[in-house]
Amino acid sequence: MRQIVTREAITNAGLALLLLVVPLAASVMDEPFYVTLATRITVLALAAVGLNIALGLGGLVSFGHAAFFGLGGYAAGILATHAFNAQPLFLGIQATTSMPAIWLVAVVACGLVALPVGAISLRTSGVYFIMITLAFAQMIYYFAISWPAYGGQDGLSIYVRNTFPGANTAQPLPFFLICYGLLLLGLALFWALGGSRFGAALHTARQNATRLAAVGIAPFKIRLTAFAISAMVTGLAGALFADLNRFASPSMLSWHMSGELIVLIILGGKGRLFGPVAGAMLYVLFEYALGGITERWQLFLGLILLGVVLFARGGLMGLVAGKERYG
């Protein structure tokens, strides 16, 4: 019989609770900075949960997910700018500052971009796939910085945070709770995908594509679907990230961002449900703690990362929750 209360389940529940309790406590103690820090963790974790669908479940090492993260961010920025200036978007359609509508636009836009990008990239595999996803992300990055209508290199400011029905998003805590709710939804999606027939096919596509084809399922379609879903979740996180910073920046599209998203997953534990959450917590805390001590925190981050890759495979989840279990 399948054991329900495993070490991993306890760790997951602990992480989810920690991420909720700390900002609540900080809010009670009137420390909005820590609420914002927790929101940053939550949004980055959601982006990495998205990437984890492609990378962890599907074994597709996408080095271009910043494209979708940035696309989501720009969707929020562009809609907010048009609404702020009361300009219609096109064909007389009015822009909106309502978050659910913005999320929908971000998710659909990412899906529409991910399908052709994925269709070309998935013709290749291995190193080619890594480099091609990187190149496509760079293409979108250069497009964004050379297109002056939406800020070009300067990015796009969101003057007033977008709205959510029934919540005052300008306050840190309600906005955190919205992000936290979406993170839980993202995790639920990852969990449901992993346990579904689709997830089983995706696992098999990673481990042995020939066998999958032999039972009559085309690996290409499975992988493309996973890639698109993964891009959509990351795009949603991008829209939240732009709202968090009130700024859609071209750096969200840069290849450093793609690298950071992979780093989050590996720090936490690849393919694990809560790996991205653990990774985002570690990463943001490193950034905060090291950034407080030294301006050169990236040097130390590099050293820590190198240490994790070389010596601590399995990441934080591997250390705390033990090896991955199947079944």
Q: Which residues of the chain form contacts with other proteins (CB under 8 A)?
A: 55, 61, 63, 120, 123-124, 126-128, 130-132, 134-136, 138-139, 142-143, 146-149, 255, 259, 262-263, 266, 270, 296, 298-299, 301-303, 305-306, 309-310, 313
Query: What's the min distance (Å) between Cβ of 28 and other proteins?
Result: 37
Sign of CA dihedral 123, 127, 128, 133: positive
CA atoms within 13 A on the CB side of 82: 18
Contact 233, 45 (CB under 8 A): no
Q: How far is the CB of 116 from other proteins (least distance, A)?
A: 9
Burial 119-155 (b: 16+ CB within 10 A, else e): eebbeeeeeebbebbbebbbebbeebeeeeebbeeeb
List CB contacts of 318: < 8 A, sequence separation 6 or more.
269, 312, 324
Nearer to other proteins, 168 or 294 (CB): 294
Between CA 91 and CA 322 the distance in angstroms is 55
The nearest distance, CB 187 to other proteins, in angstroms, is 22
Nearer to other proteins, 203 or 270 (CB): 270
Judged by beta carbon, residue 25 or residue 309, the one nearer other proteins is 309
Pick 170 or 306: Cβ nearer other proteins: 306
Shortest separation between residue 72's beta carbon and other proteins, angstroms: 20
Give φ, ψ of 45 to 5 degrees. Answer: -65, -40
CA distance 169 to 246: 12
Kindly tell me which of 102 and 262 has the beta carbon lying closer to other proteins.
Answer: 262
CB of 145 to other proteins, least distance (A): 8
Residue closer to other proteins, measured from CB, 77 or 271: 271
Minimum distance from CB of 140 to other proteins (Å)? 8
Nearest distance in Å: CB 48, other proteins:
14
Helix, strand, coil % over all residues of the chain, rounded to 5 = 75, 5, 25
Q: Which of 51, 42, 45, 108 minimizes the C-alpha distance to 75? A: 108
Judged by beta carbon, residue 123 or residue 221, the one nearer other proteins is: 123
Is residue 301 within 8 Å of 288, Cβ to Cβ? no
